[in-house]
Structure 1
Amino acid sequence: MSFSWYPPPTGWIKINVDASISRNKVAGFGGVARDDKGRFLIAFGANILQWDIAKIELMAILYLKNITPEWMFEAQGIIIEGDNSNIIKLLQSAMKTWKVSKYIDDNFTFLLNFNQVLFSFAKRECNKLVDVCANLALKSSFVWEDISFEDIPPSFLLCLKEECDSLRFF
């Protein structure tokens, strides 16, 4: 049993998403994309007023259409991974329906730009880095496309290093 993030297959990108809610109903969601070698590609976070954690996790996935760089569409595929099993099951079921009926909800048409899309459930322990993003998003929205960006908090960098160290990527 793994208790850390695990990389996608060669040529694929994994995007982990998560959500967080504060006591005053301010919600944050975030995501982190990494390649098959564990290299950081992009991270994002946004905040909203919302109290339904499932809806917030779904919003994190939908937010990808706003921040996905064009070059990501060239990957062999993407794995969108989250720790809300209900949302992951819902999207896995929807993918099967989309393949059969050839109908996709307008909110998800951006996923057709990718060669392949898989939805995967991850235990909370395996989703630590994106949990940091969701909690940082409670304070302010962000998009980081460069790991050397000086505004990236040390908590994010430390968690990224710990996950990479556990996989022996550094």
Structure 2
Amino acid sequence: MAGVVGVVRDDKGQFLLAFGADYVHWDISQVELMAIYYLKNIMKDWMLEYQGVMIKGDNYNIIKALQNMLKKWKNKEIRDDRLAFLNNFNQVLFSFCRRNCNKLADICANLGVFNSFIWLDLLDDEIPPSFLYCLKEECDALGLL
């Protein structure tokens, strides 16, 4: 079992939403890809107002493969149906981030194993204190609060 998760922020680092879902896997690389594909399921109309999207992942091989595919797609539409939703953005970036530098996603991954969730509001009483505390630490470090 694994958690397919994501934490969505704006260009200033402000929290927009977080999601998680359980997923049975045999390959951790597949889990990383499923998290990216899952974004399509949680897309909201207001997200399209943003000019670009940066997708961070902690699987170096998958992120590198996606970066290489993106170079091939340059000036062309993304043809992979599972990633075609990215065509709605003017800019798409794939970035590698070590797991210990992305604690919010790690918390969500652990929670996503047991229950699916989408948090759109920080006042949601289902958000665990550990997530809120970690978010506050990151926002404080970025000077957002």
Band of TM-score, shorter chain: over 0.9
Percentage identity across paired residues of the two chains? 60
In the TM superposition, what whole-angstrom CA distance separates every residue of 1:69-100 from its partner, at most 9, and x where no partner exists? 11111212111011111110111111111226
Who is 2:38 aligned against?
63
How far is the alpha carbon of 1:38 from its aligned partner?
2.1
CA distance in 2, matches of 1:163, 1:39: 10
Shift >4 Å, 4+ stretches: 100-103
Q: 1:92·1:119 contact (CA, 8 Å) conserved in 2?
A: yes
Q: 2:78·2:84 contact (CA, 8 Å) conserved in 1?
A: no
Q: Which runs of 5+ in 2 are unaligned?
A: none
CA distance in 1, matches of 2:107, 2:91: 27
Please point out which of 101, 104, 113 is paired with 1:138. 113
Who is 2:14 aligned against?
39
* 91-100 vs 42-51, which moves further: 91-100
* Alignment length (residue pairs): 145
Who is 2:128 aligned against?
153
Q: Which runs of 5+ in 1 are unaligned?
A: 1-25
Q: 2:107·2:131 contact (CA, 8 Å) conserved in 1?
A: yes
How far is the alpha carbon of 1:51 from its aligned partner?
2.3
Residue 79 in structure 1 maps to residue 61 in structure 2: no
Who is 2:66 aligned against?
91
- Which residue type is aligned with residue 119 of structure 2? W
TM-score (norm 2): 0.94
SS of 1:107's equivalent? coil
